[in-house]
Chain A
Amino acid sequence: MDRNDSFREFVAGHQQALMRTAYLLTGDAHQAEDLLQSVLLKVLGRWSRLSRVERPEAYARKALVNQHISWRRRRVRSELPTAEPPDRSYSSEDSTVARLVMRRALMRLPPRQRAVIVLRYYEDRTERETAELMNCSIGTVKSQAHYALARLRELAPELAPKLADVEAEEAYR
């Protein structure tokens, strides 16, 4: 098995999970692909060393989060979706509406707050793990999570009661 084969194997095993996180971080399919590809390029550049470590995906995940934060910082204007929830949807279930509303609200969060939401509530990471992935203190993770949930409640008032429950549960975590 040559260097590229073991890299292909790594990508095949982890790219979908990384892509899902990238999509939640960027909110856009095209940007998610760009973000993940730039991270995979970094991984491939270091593959001779990374292929020997126990969990190369941990490196990729950390690079993904930090690349996202630095990209978003450099962008003068973030890409806000202009699409409104459609008049006629393919499904009118609540989950679809919640997903649309949440997508729009998430897109308006600053990059660090967004990363905290994704790592804490989608990937179910502990505060310590989240802090390690974001290169910050546990205190910063706590405060960013608090601000992020508060901001989401403002941006998506229709989801505010459920988001308040999330914060209440958070106190007992």
Chain B
Amino acid sequence: MTWLRNVLVDLADDSPQVDLAERTIAAHDRRRRAVISYLAAAMVVVVALGVTTAIRLLPDGHQEAASIGDLPARGVGPLSHAYRTFCKPNSGKAPSGCRDGGWRVVTRSGKTYHVPEALPSLAPGRTGLRASPLAISRDGRKIAYYSAREDTFQVRDLASGQKTTAATKVPQSQLGSVSRLMLSDDGRFVAFSKVPDLKDPAVLIDMRDGVARELPNRWVPIGLSQDGATITLAEYSPRSRLRTISNLWPSSSKGDTTSVILPVDYFFSPLAPDGKTVAVIENRGTAEKPCRYGDLALMDTLTGEKRKPTAVSGLPSDVSRISLRTWLSADEVTALTTSERCRSASEAVNDEPAVNDPPYQTMTAYAVNVRTGKARKLATYRAQGFFDIVLPGPPGAL
């Protein structure tokens, strides 16, 4: 009996640790408002029927309680995350109200909104993919996205609704197939990069002063100093490299560049709060044996020196993929994980479905202490892939 209980207790330890109080209260309020509006509509019908029985009046029905609206012009609370939706998953259902290639943002209190101003990542009629990126500032209070109307990037303060549009246009054709966007903590700077790199460069935009400077393409922006003068970039494919460019302004200067080529492949976290370190996990996966990882370690971004490798403990043993994201403190970094089955390259070719979009899967975020390796569960999300979910702060590079 004790044995079975112990196994069940172990299993229960994997349960998500989320606070449902605010989410429940918000859902309850929405439902109550919907019922009230329904009753009001029904009252109108009753009164109308009383006035004339010759005309049948029926209420149009009510807004579905859980329906998702567009991002209000102002007054939106801080975000917990954003995710992109493609509406024809190979298996399972797309979320209700799915907009193909559209972004949704979710507040910490659980409210979800479409971001209609952000260019969808799928052309109308599913005629082509274009990676329209979105970024959330570390405090969750601002977003940056590619504006369909302005043909460039826009930053929006969610509480005040104030929008700032980049002075430099970035044609849609430059969005590439995988793009990354980073928004500085204060919302002043936006860094954009993409693959394939082609000829057009990545760009760092100063939204306040209306200037921009080129960045090397293919590199993922993972950190920016407070003054916007030093940027840290990571490249994970085809070879892991780190690059730091300082003295970025004036935009005509070349900047001072330090590059490090690393001997093995790593997945990188965003730049740590100390401004000179990243957390890394060695990618030991191969085409035939994917999803194998080394220990978690800290790495000096200027020298590539690795220190304090530590085994991660406290993750469920079925975790198959890891993406390092937001730093929660000087010691804790977010690890976003999935437990999808890893298929080798030969399996993937043989059973690749012929149609449509990846299924939605559960992703679980853990706070991992970089000194002890201990993980504690933070939240779960649903998304189609690591590139389709954004947490606050700069992106990591996988």
Residues of A that sit less than 8 Å from B by CB: 4, 7-8, 11-12, 15-16, 19-24, 28-30, 32-33, 36-37, 40-41, 44-45, 81-91, 95-96, 98-100, 102-103, 106, 117-118, 121-122, 124, 162-163, 165-166, 169-170, 173
Q: Pick from A89, A98, A100, A121: contact of B1, CB below 8 A.
A: A121
What are the 10 closest A-B residue pairs judged by CB atoms, nearest first? A23-B15, A20-B12, A122-B8, A89-B317, A11-B21, A40-B24, A29-B380, A29-B16, A30-B362, A8-B21
Sample of 8 A–B contacts (CB below 8 Å)? A15-B19, A24-B11, A24-B15, A30-B382, A45-B28, A84-B341, A88-B292, A121-B5
CA distance A99 to B24 in the complex (A): 31
Alpha-carbon separation in the docked complex, A28 to B13 (Å): 12
Chain A proximity of B266: nearest CB distance (Å): 18
Q: Complex formed: what's the CA distance from A39 to B41 in Å? A: 28
Cross-chain contact of A33 among B12, B16, B31 (Cβ < 8 A): B16
Per-residue A-contact encoding for B307-318, CB less than 8 Å = 1, 0 else = 000011101011
Bound-state CA distance A98–B8 (Å) is 10
- Are A41 and B10 in contact (CB-based, < 8 A)? no
Q: Is the interface of A mostly helix, strand, loop or mixed?
A: helix
Task: Decide: A103 near B11, CB < 8 A? Known: A16-B17, A41-B31, A83-B340.
Answer: yes
Count residues of chain B with CB under 8 A from any CB of chain A: 45
B residues less than 8 Å from A118 (CB atoms): 8
- CB–CB A121/B4 < 8 A: yes
B382 cross-chain contacts in A, Cβ below 8 A: 30
Partner of A83, one of B21, B24, B341, B380: B341
- CB atoms of A19 and B15 under 8 A apart: yes
B23 contacts partner chain A, Cβ-Cβ < 8 Å: yes
B107 CB–A CB distance under 8 Å = no
What's the nearest-Cβ distance from chain A to residue B369, in Å? Answer: 15
Q: How far is the CA of A7 from the CA of B23 in the complex (A)?
A: 12
Q: What residues of chain B lie closer than 8 Å to A84, measured between beta carbons?
A: 341
| Bound CA–CA A83/B339 (angstroms) | 7
- Residues in B with CB closer than 8 Å to A32 are 15-16
Mark B371-398 against chain A: 1 for CB-CB distance below 8 A, else 0: 0000000001010000000000000000
Given contacts A37-B24, A87-B289, A90-B313, contact A124 B8 (CB under 8 A): no
Residues on B with C-beta less than 8 A from A121 are 1, 4-5, 8
Residues from chain B with Cβ under 8 Å of A100 in the complex: 317-318
Residue B53 is within 8 A (CB to CB) of chain A in the complex:
no
A37 to B30, CA, bound (A): 14
The distance from the CB of A15 to the nearest CB of chain B, in whole angstroms, is 6
**Is the CB of B6 closer than 8 A to any CB of chain A?**
yes
**B362 lies within 8 A of A29 (CB):** yes
